[in-house]
Amino acid sequence: MIKGYIKGCVVLASVLIASNAVPVEENPVIINKEGNRRIQRNIPKQWVTGYPAWKPTETNAAQPSRTPPAPSKPSQAAPAPPKPSQAAPAPSKPSQAAPAPSKPSQAAPAPPKPSQAAPAPPKPSQAAPATKQTASTTTSARSESYAAVASSLPPKDGDLGITCDKFNKAVEAAGFSAPSQEKCNSFLAGIPIGQIANLREAAMFLTQILWESDGLAAKEEYYCKTHDCSTAYASSKDVPGKLYYGRGYIQLTWADNYAAASNALYQDDSLLLNPDQVSSSEQISWDVSFWYWKDRVRTSQLVLGGNFGASTDMINGALECRGGYADKAKKRFELYKKVLAVMDPSSTAIESGCYN
């Protein structure tokens, strides 16, 4: 009997050593799952009963001798966590559903439709020729439009610092009525056309215009308004039914001059085809006057040198400088001195260039 008891103790000791049982004194509370499984597999149930080291400290496990097999249930239930691994394919459903966004990628070809509709804008470009045809059939439209815009501009300082105030005072100093705002605007807008270099030259130009137009009052030759001038300025370049007597502030005459001014100013023959607009349009009246000054007057070095008489010679020298009308040339110069005193007070009027 004693031998049997000893043999049992030896067997128990070998089992404890093989199961790597942790002494209760070191950690009597923590028992991992694998330890439980090994102990339950290798230790007979009768040896576990009453062994104090395996009593759990939790209050819900008060009778470990009767319930040790219960931990084996969690070991059987442990496979349950893999179910999420089986359920993991459920997220893959979005991956299967992911092709749905590809539908927009299939619908993406729809934007090219606007690219097919893009050819619609060229339609205005097809309508553009109509404008060109209209301009070609009414060659005066360009010059009239330009004149209307230029004369309607708000008052501003012109080139060389000339203002409407200075312009008005110069006209009044010469003994004429104050000009309208439209006249001033058109004068300022035309200065670049004449390539006026300084205030002295501007005073020379304005003086000659005041003389030729009777103080900006006349834009047509007085005589031809009351007499027949059908043969007075006739030439082979005349357009049938059109007359080319003096118009504009500079009194533009002859078909050649109308054609040259039209080509230089508007790159067309509108003034030749419709000479009446030279007097009916305020801006065109100034434009042709500035053009004539640049093309026929300031080409003289004497004029550029400030000799007022030279400008009279370039305009009407055959009568006033070399004919019997020198008194008129002298009156021009007296007018010039008054205008120059306002436009450029620091300058001295030079009379030479015509009759002296």
Options 144, 212, 221, 351, the catalytic residue? 212
Q: Length of the chain, please?
A: 356
DSSP 279: H
Longest Cα–Cα distance of the chain, Å, equals 177
Cα-to-chain-centroid distance, residue 178: 41
- 């093309």: which residue's tokens? 295
212 is catalytic: yes
DSSP 247: B
How many Å apart are CA 68 and CA 348, to the nearest integer? 132
Distances (CA, A) of 263 to 13, 86, 288, 292: 129, 93, 11, 13
DSSP 154: P
Q: List the structure tokens of 110.
A: 């729809």
H helix and E strand count, the chain: 21, 0
CB 255 within 8 A of CB 247: no
CB 351 within 8 A of CB 308: yes
Residue of 173, 182, 157 whose CA lies nearest to 206: 173
Active centre residues (catalytic): 212
